[in-house]
Amino acid sequence: MPYCGLPDGTSLWSMWNIPLLLAVLATGWLYFVSWRRSEGKDRSGANIVGMGKTGKMISFYSGLALFYLFGGSPLYYLGHMYLFSVHMTTMAIQYIVVPPLVLLGLADWMVRPLMDFRRFRAFFRLMSQPLFALTMFNLLFSAYHVPYVFDYIMDHEVAAFIADVLLMITAFSNWLPIIHPLPEMNRMGELQKILYLFLDAILLTPACAFLIFSNGPLYGSYVMMPRLIPALSVYVDQQLGGIIMKLTQEMAYIGAIGYIFWVWVRKERKRDEQEKAEVLLFPVDKDDGHRAHPW
């Protein structure tokens, strides 16, 4: 399938979002400085089983890199203006892949000072409620792809910005019940988290099915645009976008379920080791109950 170039002659270099790049770099620098200042203060950051400082830094910076690559590079412009499948790819990465990577990279002591502010604490608790988190992102995502709403957002820059911000906030909220930086607010057990992910996948399915199995092109924003790839019709491009979104979600959730199961196994092994250690130190006698080990 030949690539015909940009219809308006726009240079690829002009499509890079420099203000967003500066914001991402500043965030990465502040994150690095936070870890440097935490050295020697007994802040390992390993509030999630098996993930210490190095793992958290890799996760956080991977999330930042993907966020900019799919939100501030020419991919975002091409998806917004010409190819629906690219648009859905950027949405899938930004709203399904980036949030868990960033949340995994946060240590509890990075977030805890914000809890001193009453309004933020109330907002954070609301966003962490499983029912709220489960429904808000999927509702907004589905409403976003209603044809009239979608075309309006594509034609108005302010509306597109507001939609991006709301979807990003609710996307992070969607992952908070699974990956919470504050241990005391991580209330769901492993089985509950797996069930949550299954329900989450089901709620996103209708929107993806709407894109894949519609009778024809849904969005005038792409029908009117020149085709960068002539062999890729508007309708096939739309179907491909729905497939990409659903497959990305399935792969991300399978990975999350695998990680949850791995953490669960590690917790059970650690608990068994502690119980064995207690039995060795305090063997149980049928008549005398716990009897100290004879040294």
The whole-angstrom separation of Cα 115 and Cα 212 is: 43
Domain residue ranges of the chain, discontinuous segments joined by + = 12-290
Per-residue model confidence (pLDDT) at position 60: 96
So what's the pLDDT on residue 80?
87
Query: Which pLDDT does position 295 carry in this prediction?
Result: 43
Q: What is the pLDDT of residue 5?
A: 46
Q: How many CA atoms does the CB half-sphere of 156 hold within 13 Å? A: 10
Name, in order, each residue with C-beta under 8 angstroms of 89's C-beta and a sequence gap of 6 or more: 70, 75, 79, 241, 244, 248
φ and ψ at residue 101, rounded to 5 degrees: -65, -45
pLDDT confidence of residue 9: 53
Residues 6+ apart with CB under 8 A from 7: 82, 225, 226, 228
- Reading the block at residue 67, the tokens are 């966020």
d(CA 171, CA 20) in angstroms, rounded, equals 19
Digitized pLDDT (tens) for each residue of the chain, 295 residues in all: 333 445 555 566 678 899 999 999 999 999 999 998 877 554 544 444 456 888 999 999 999 999 999 999 999 988 988 999 999 999 999 999 999 999 999 998 999 888 888 888 889 889 999 999 999 999 999 999 999 999 999 999 899 999 999 999 999 999 999 998 888 888 888 889 999 999 999 999 999 999 999 999 999 989 888 878 888 899 999 999 999 999 999 999 999 998 888 888 887 777 777 767 666 666 655 555 544 444 4
Cα 216 from Cα 237, distance rounded (Å): 11
Q: Sign of the CA dihedral 160, 161, 163, 168?
A: positive
**C-alpha 259: how far from chain center:** 14
Predicted local confidence at residue 282, as pLDDT: 61
Q: Which two tokens stand for residue 108?
A: 């509890």
